A and B are shown apart, each in its own frame.
Chain A
Amino acid sequence: MLGLLKFELYKIYKQKSIYILFALLIAIISTGGWIDRSSEKVIYQGYQKWEGKLTAEKINKLDRIREDGNKKSDTGQEFTFKEHLLYSISMVIFQQTNFTEERNKEITQLKEKIQQTPLSYKKRQDELKKDMLSSIDTSDFYYPKGPAIMLDMIYTFGFVITAFMTIIGIGPIFSKEYSSGMDQFLLSSKYGRSKAVTAKILASLLFILSVIAMWSLYSVARSAYSFGLHGWKSSIQSVIQFLESPYPFSLSSAFTLMMMIHVIAALAFGVLVVFISAVSKKVIVSVLTSGVIFGLPLVLDTVLDYGGTKKVWVDRFISFSIYQFMKVKELFVGFRTYNFFGYPVLQPILAVILSFLTIILFWFITQWIMKKKQITV
């Protein structure tokens, strides 16, 4: 088995197209991505003074800075760099404290609602939300730029790199055997319908893991170089896209969790691509089909996001697509649960379960198909 796995890995990594594509994608995302480190250092020093527990004293001071800044802004006066920095910090804290107040109000409303509602899915859902909101701790303040950029990499470029590399690297894994005529050796040999299939799937998964490791390393290196490696203790709500997130995570746990979900969803997509390749006689068919499965919800999401009209079924289709699971972000921005025998299941948990089911199902189907495979022409 190990021998076959080595050969399958060799076949995947011998494809020049994967290196060209990876280099191209990294080149695209690197354009304008590097920051002036000296000014960034000054910004961080500005933030550093306010880091730690957000005391009433700190909040009062920042309130005054914000009010002065507002006056200056209204009268059209210019800000010095330092003033602008302080004003920005005061605005961030203001936004954060406002949302904390709103969250507390929602918790109170939920408590009242729970008392009035009889035991049901709705009640359990409200209880879950109340518990989650109550666990959020935004009393600490840290400059989160570095971790925020790393988090951003997952749902802006990272998931696209993983998907493109999977489609190009794994798409030909079986269909190239058919188009080259090598399938006859495979199907007539002792392990060609069993261990070789397992080896192909395992090699695909290892390839995907290596792709994710590569762009993650790039992302970490870039963020660490530009912004440093601090801010991980900050809450996920300190990142503007997750301001209303009900998940009580620090940025370090959010990043770990989101990367794990991305990996699981990417492996599910990988097994799906292997299956598509196993049933496609031509490489182009395999690549295009895989591309459509990943790309269609992405296109719908992007187009309809600008159009602003999403029908319920389209929303469901996008929510349960492999694209959305790999992107991860939307799973954590809001509170979304699904009724499972009267119990609410959070969308990220459902995404992980569905990804695992996809892996198991398509792994099994691919093995079965190859066991029964016949050459027809």
Chain B
Amino acid sequence: MNLAIEHVTKKYGNHHAIDDISCEFSNGVYGILGANGSGKTTLMRMLATVTTPTAGIIRVNGKNILSLGDDYRDMIGYLPQHIGLYKNFTADKFLHYIAALKGLSKKEAALKIEELLDLVNLMDVRKKKVGTFSGGMKQRIGIAQALLNDPKILIVDEPTAGLDPKERIRFRNLLSSISGERIVLLSTHIVSDIEFIAKEVLILKNGRLLHKRNPQELLHEIAGKVWLVTTAESEIPRYQDMFKVGNIVRSESRVELRIISDDRPSLAAILTTPNLEDLYLYFFEEDFDAGPVKV
């Protein structure tokens, strides 16, 4: 299976949501990393054919996906970023409806739904109306519907939003286990979603593709630029003004700052091994939220 994006651009008025992107995918998980507004969702929507490129072509095994039409849609599973559900439908009915949309026979649908409800841990609530579901449960049923037709290309846009850590790990492992025979495209701004499962990471910024490499190669790019600095708490604002500061870890009266910088931020700074969070910070400084302080 080969999926190729060739000089794809998507414009909304004068705004370039996607600007001349070209890349190829083969079986495996691809993480699409970008801040809000970077064009991740637009790219996913074009891959799912719910929107079309202003310019350029997307091909699967050499054929234009728009010419393939329903045949292409038969190959894909799509989980949109914001999922809408019929509030009056039970989980079971909703999945049967999507199965009908995907062309599964009643018998095939019944078997697959059984399997997927078990997989996403919703078997107990299959007869409950989805309008009563929590955000995480809705996300899980969204994941189940995307997998109904055993897709050759799985397109999941921010799939772990709303999932608790246990569910997130479960989902990550699921994607990893099924990626051998299919292309999995996973857009996220949560680095840990893709850190260990992505074959390659695509970095999108302002509609442009900055990088498409495997995580090790990307991390190599920032090798020698990640530092640990132990300092007094009062010094934090000064470092934040001057550098890109990631994790801040408190221990007794001191704090340890993780800093991304081309130059050594202080004489006491120690070089450390970069991770994907550092990479994200490196590319998306203005959008980065360091999160809670670890103690």
Q: Which of A28-36, A96-104, A179-187, A283-291 lies at the interface?
A: A179-187
The secondary structure that dominates the B interface is loop
Q: What 0/1 readout, one digit per residue, does chain B (21-55) give for beta carbons within 8 Å of chain A? A: 00000000000000000000000010011111000
Of residues 134 through 157 on chain B, the ones whose CB sits less than 8 Å from some CB of chain A are: 145, 149
A185/B51 contact (C-beta < 8 A), A11-B86, A180-B84, A196-B101 known = no
Residue numbers in B under 8 Å from A11 (CB-CB): 86
Interface residues of B in 151-210 (CB under 8 A from A): none
Which of B69-77, B216-224, B231-239 forms contacts with chain A?
B69-77
CB neighbours (8 Å) of B98 from chain A are: 185, 189
Contacts of A185 in B (CB 8 A): 78, 80, 83-84, 98, 101, 145
| A118: interface (CB < 8 Å) | no
Contact in complex: A188, B84 (CB < 8 Å):
no
Nearest CB on A from B80, distance (A): 4
B45 interface neighbour in A186, A192, A375, Cβ under 8 Å? A375
Q: How far is the CB of A178 from chain B (nearest CB, A)?
A: 9
B290 at interface, CB cutoff 8 A: no
Asked whether, in the complex, the Cβ of B102 is within 8 Å of the Cβ of A189, the reply is: yes
> Once the chains bind, are A188 and B106 in contact (CB under 8 Å)?
no
- CB neighbours of A116 from chain B (8 A): none
| A165-198, CB < 8 A from B | 177, 180-194, 196
Q: A29-55: which have CB < 8 Å to B?
A: none
Could you say which of A3, A191, A374 contacts B106, with CB atoms under 8 Å apart? A3
Return the contact of B51 from the options A189, A194, A374 (Cβ within 8 A).
A374
Q: Within 8 Å of chain A (Cβ to Cβ): is B97?
A: yes
Number of interface residues of A (CB under 8 A): 26
B100 within 8 A of A: yes
Query: Which B residues, 93 to 113, have Cβ-Cβ distances below 8 Å to chain A?
Result: 96-98, 100-103, 106
Residue B127, interface by CB 8 Å: no
Does A188 lie within 8 Å of B76, measured CB to CB? yes
Q: In the complex, how many angstroms separate the beta carbon of A46 from the nearest chain B beta carbon?
A: 56
- Does A374 lie within 8 Å of B73, measured CB to CB? no
The answer to whether B51 and A376 have CB atoms under 8 Å apart is yes
> A194–B52 Cα gap in the complex (Å)?
17
Question: How many whole Å from B203's CB to the nearest CB in chain A?
Answer: 25
Q: Mark A8-27, 1 if CB is under 8 A from B, else 0.
A: 00010010000000000000
Contact B88 A186 (CB under 8 A): no
Q: Are A191 and B145 in contact, with the CB atoms below 8 A?
A: no
Q: A190-B102, A375-B51 are in contact. List 4 more A-B contacts (CB 8 A).
A: A182-B86, A184-B84, A188-B48, A188-B50
Closest 8 CB pairs of A and B: A181-B84, A189-B101, A180-B84, A184-B80, A3-B100, A188-B78, A188-B48, A190-B74
